[in-house]
Amino acid sequence: MKVLKLVVLGLVLFFASPSQAQVSVNLNIGPAWGPVGYSNVDYYYLPDVEAYYDVPNSMFIYHDGRSWVRRTYLPSRYRNYDLYGGYKVVMRDYHGRTPYYNHREYKIKYAKGYHGPSQRNIGRATREGKQWQGLSRKQSG
């Protein structure tokens, strides 16, 4: 009987003990070359390279000739593209998985060389940030 009381008391104390709450905050700050003021956006469209950037997953999305691919780097043909200087179209209202769904419209509306309102970047370009300028770490050697 004493053992049963101790077991019950132990269970009561275990479940009555204060539980620890976990707080999770998901804030997409974006890459250093991203525009200031859009911390809760999922995608940018990069008109000069006709590619998209998936902010939460830190991936570029571009057409490789056959299909749309997701990579951590831009293709080698854009190795000299300046992400800090290039214009980023912020896709405020799109939250799906295929930002390229209306690519024909984006390509027409935001042609290569498009520059809308002035943008400031989150960070500044640095020599160490070279991998963001179209180079994967393997390519930058």
What pLDDT is attached to residue 132? 44
- What pLDDT is stored for residue 30 in this prediction? 86
Say what the pTM is.
0.71
Nearest to 84 by CA among 116, 56, 43, 46: 46
Task: Output the pLDDT for position 128.
Answer: 55
Confidence (pLDDT) at 126: 75
Distance (Å) of CA 2 to CA 6, 9, 14 = 6, 10, 18
Tell me what pLDDT residue 29 has.
74
Averaged pLDDT, groups of 10, the chain, 141 residues long:
61 58 60 91 97 97 96 94 96 94 96 94 74 41 38
For the chain, give every domain's residue range. Answer: 28-140
> Exposure pattern of 66-104 as b/e (b: 16+ CB <10 Å)?
eeeeeeebbbeebeebebbebbbbbbeebeeeebbeeee
